[in-house]
Amino acid sequence: MVHFVGVEAMIKLVEAAGVQPFLKGLCLAIEDDFRRWPAFEKTPRIASHSSVGVIELMPTSDGDHYGFKYVNGHPKNMKEGLQTVTAFGVLSDVSTGYPILVSEMTLLTALRTAATSAMAAKHLARADSQCMAIIGNGAQSEFQALAFAAICGIKRFRLYDIDPTASLKCAANLAKYGLDITLCPTAQDAVAGADIITTVTADKQCATILSDNMVGEGIHINAIGGDCLGKTELHKDILYRSNIFVEFTEQTRTEGEIQQLPENHPVTELWKVIDGTEPGRQSDKDITLFDSVGFAIEDFSALNFMRRQALSHGIFEELDLIADLPDPRNLFGVLEPGNQGVHASRQPQAAA
């Protein structure tokens, strides 16, 4: 049998830990894997673009486990009552090739994106940061706020969205967490007094969510909305003033904010900061930019972390996904009368 974590089980796992402790644990798991970055296979995501969105596969392996995520991004879905992003993931045992986990990843991706953002800020933002602006208050905004509160100690948040009801939704969802929330009438107003700026908008276009005059010295920018070719959020002049940190350079050159820059413009991969081989913020006056597009290693970390949680709490189902053959050469035999439904796989399970 293959372990399966669906939406209901994922909700139960987060509830069992609490949202913020779950985010903190997930952050530590991602950070641990960033420290062993060279151990992973790395390739840009495999994308299939259409006029209305994108469908992507994000694979990686550390030699023991292989994982991939299927994810879409369709901004027009919201107007049709559908989610902009949905996802599922698979984790397999490299030694047998057998899958050991199938999981929902729409909720898990939102959690890992927020945990990765806060992890980057922990290493790049000023230590005295207290206030964050969130521009774009859709599905990711609450996760970002709670991750930054839990991991970086941020308690004041300034919200702006072109749709005021999105900001009201975000504020209402965060009301019980003891955070200081301010709704702002413009993006310019939102960044006033902010130490960290998160941009997380959904439109598939080159946009200017942040103009150069909105970013002062000492700011950390968490740019996570620009995540595919032709979709950016920052004015190019901001990039030239910033120290830029990315996940996997090859992928970010195509999909991130730095698609606006020459290919030889210097950037630093975040794992090098985390393992101490490259400096992060070097001065309180630096502008640091985490140009995040999401990378497969983060999903791999999230799947492994969530699997450990699922096994620990006993919150999962079992899928009859692979036939267990008395004779591995006789697949046709399962079709013989009386054999149907009795050959659920008993494949060995990789260590948790």
* 75 HSE (CA, 13 A, CB side): 16
Residues recorded for the chain: 352
Q: Where are the beta strands (DSSP E) in the chain?
A: 2-5, 46-49, 54-61, 65-73, 87-93, 99-104, 131-135, 156-160, 180-183, 196-199, 206-210, 220-223, 232-234, 243-246, 268-269, 288-291, 317-319
Per the CB < 8 A criterion, the answer to whether 33 and 303 are in contact is no
Structure tokens at 220: 């950390």
State in Å, rounded, how far the first CA of the chain is from the last one. 16
DSSP per residue, 108-129? HHHHHHHHHHHHHHHHHS-TT-
The residue type of 98 is: Y
Based on the residue annotation, tell me whether 227 is a catalytic residue of this protein. yes
The C-alpha atoms of residue 225 and residue 202 are separated, in whole angstroms, by: 6
- CA angle, 205 then 209 then 214, to 5°: 155
* Amino acid of residue 116: T
Which residue out of 227, 286, 291, 299 is catalytically annotated? 227
Residue 104 · residue 302 · CB < 8 Å = no
For 88, phi and psi rounded to 5 degrees? -140, 160
Quote the CA–CA distance of 271 and 343 in Å, as a whole number.
44
Q: What amino acid positions are annotated as catalytic residues?
A: 227
